[in-house]
Amino acid sequence: MRWVAGIKVSVHGKLLAGYLLVTLLVIGMGAMSLQTISKMSTQSQLLDEAHERVHWSQDIQHALAMQMNFTAMALLLRSETTVENILRENNRFNNTLARLEKAAQPEEVELIQRIRAAQGDAITTVADIANLIRDGKIADAMRLQQEKQYPLYRRIEEFVTQLVLRESNKMDQLRASVAAANRSTLILMAISAVALMLVALLLGFVISWSFILPVQKAHGFVSEVAKGNFTATINVPNRDEFGALAAHMNHMSQELQRLYEVQHRASQELQRLNERLQQASKAKSNFLANMSHELRTPMNAILGFVEMMLDEIYGEVPPQLREPLTDVQTNGKHLLRLINDVLDLSKIEAGRMELVLAEYSVQDVVEIIRTSLQSLALEKGLEFVAAVDDDIPLAFGDGKRITQCLMNLVGNALKFSKHGRVALAVEQQGKTLLYRVSDTGIGIPKDELENIFGEFQQVDTAITREFSGTGLGLNITKKFVEMHGGRIWVESELGVGSTFFFTVPLRVETSEVT
């Protein structure tokens, strides 16, 4: 099989060669039987001929007997005319003998010539007998007949019998030879048929397995590659199409292995970079946590001492000092808000901001906003309305971040409105909470609406100075809303007012939080 597989001939060529070989063997077998048939037919022709010669010999014997008979009749009847019958029989004898001679085997020719010679003598004797009868010398004729003609005929008879015997022997031999040829042909044909079958089977087996083996190996190889073993190789002895296919497959697995290694190196590189990035991110996160406290500790002292002064813990505050002390306090608080916002934003950007998920009451959140900002609204002479349905159930999310968002939005609304009203409303819409903060403030120009949630995006710096915002509140609010899986948007008309909307799920799915 390996040998057949290794022959450098195409599959097509191998199949053709196999069929051709079997076909040639069949043709060979046919030729052999044709030859046998022709030999047998020759022998049977020889047999026919021998049979004919025997027939002729019997004819000759018959003619001879008739001659004897007519001679006897001529003697008995003393009739010369009977001699003519003898001559007629003699002619028949000679004709038949001539035919026999023509068909005779070389070894018989001598015997036939002796028969002819003897017959010649016998006819001369018959002529003599006829003459004696005509002359009335019957006794002489009878003697001649008795002494000469009869022995002659006996000799001829003997020769013919020998001839017949020879032919008979020959015929026996021929028959035996035909029978033997029959037998041997039968055996030969049987052996040939069996051999042919075996050759055909062997060829079929060898050729088909020389195809099946590489296919089986290819199957194993492809399974290995499919399992991810790209170092697998396929090794077939075939130098035909299967061999070419196997070579291509090996090339393919080498290429896959190369690609796999390239990709593996790339992914290792990526992993290393990722680890470094995580380390950097962790370092940044630690830095933020430390900074957060480090910045607040001095702020704590500044704001604390000012508050204690204003609370007159150190004694009475002279009226002219009260205003500058209050200015220090106001700016200190603004600086603190900035610090808080910058730190929140940094944490969000670093991906270190995590929501603290728990159940919270929407009503409580609204109440905190109302109590915290009521005084600011009163100071500015604004109407502040906070409305929330009592039947909104407990929500799940980061209540403090939601509070921070509303503090930013309501704080902005109060800051940017000089008169009129600020309203906060919460509605439940199915599984979503819709928060709405509307004001009667200065409004936002249309071309600024898109940028309003970006970083440091207060509409103009003069307003920033006047209203003293950090410029980070809306950006942080947007990010917290999105971390909850919600959405924020604004509708506004210049000089009429703005309404900010945001939605958050009533119950945040833990997996939704990013």
Partner 1 sequence: MSGKTVLYVEDNEFNLKMVRQLLARTAYRLIEATDGELGVATALREIPDLILMDIQLPKLSGLDATRRLRADPKTAAIPIIVITSFALSGDDQKAKDAGATAYMAKPYSPRELLQMIRKLLPEQ
Would you tell me which residues interact with partner 1 (CB under 8 A)?
289-290, 292-293, 296-301, 303-305, 307-308, 311, 313-314, 336, 340, 343, 347, 354, 356, 400-401, 404
CB of 322 to partner 1, least distance (A): 16
Compute CA 466 distance to the chain's CA centroid, rounded to the nearest angstrom. Answer: 75
CB of 437 to partner 1, least distance (A): 19
Q: Which C-beta is closer to partner 1: that of 404 or that of 438? A: 404
Residue whose CB is less far from partner 1, 182 or 300: 300
Of 205 and 314, which has the nearer Cβ to partner 1?
314
Q: How far apart are CA 338 and CA 298, in angstroms?
A: 15
Structural tokens at position 229: 């073993």
Asked if 210 contacts 241 with a C-beta cutoff of 8 angstroms, the reply is: no
> Which amino acid makes up residue 328?
V
Characterize 94-109 residue by residue with b for buried, 16 or more Cβ atoms within 10 angstroms of its Cβ, and e for exposed. bebbeebbeebeeebe
User: For residues 131 and 361, which CB has a smaller minimum distance to partner 1 in the complex?
Assistant: 361
Q: Which segments of 135-240 does DSSP mark as H helices, in order?
A: 138-144, 150-226
Q: What whole-number distance in Å separates Cα of residue 327 and Cα of residue 335?
A: 12
**CB of 352: closest distance to partner 1 in angstroms?**
10
- Closer residue to partner 1 in complex, CB, 174/369: 369
Query: Nearest approach, Cβ of 398 to partner 1 (angstroms)?
Result: 9
Three-class SS of 354-393 = CCCCEEECHHHHHHHHHHHHHHHHHHHCCEEEEEECCCCC
Using alpha carbons, select from 33, 42, 31, 29 the residue that is nearest to residue 177.
42
d(CA 312, CA 404): 32
CA distances from 67 to 70, 75, 113, 158, 336 (A): 5, 12, 19, 16, 169
C-alpha span between 7 and 480 (Å, rounded)? 75
Residue 233 C-beta: closest distance to partner 1, Å: 58
CA dihedral for 169, 174, 179, 183, sign (positive or negative)? positive
Among residues 122 and 504, whose Cβ is nearest to partner 1? 504
Tokens of 500: 């900010």
- In whole angstroms, the minimum distance from the beta carbon of 295 to partner 1 comes to 9
How near is the Cβ of 379 to partner 1 at its closest, in Å?
Answer: 19
How far is Cα 382 from Cα 440, in angstroms, rounded to an integer? 10
Checking 108-112 for CB contacts under 8 A at 24+ apart, the result is 108/163, 108/166, 111/159, 111/162, 111/163, 111/166, 112/163
Least CB distance from residue 300 to partner 1, whole Å? 4
- As a whole number of angstroms, the longest Cα–Cα distance in the chain is 216
Cβ proximity to partner 1: between 298 and 381 the closer is 298
Residue 54 near residue 104, CB atoms below 8 Å: no
First to last CA, the chain: 65
The CB-of-224 to partner 1 minimum distance in angstroms stands at 52
Nearer to partner 1, 304 or 393 (CB): 304
Query: Does residue 361 contact residue 402 with C-beta atoms inside 8 Å?
Result: no
Q: Which is nearer to partner 1, 181 or 336 (CB)?
A: 336
Name the minimum Å distance from CB 358 to partner 1: 9
89 vs 398 by CB, closer to partner 1: 398
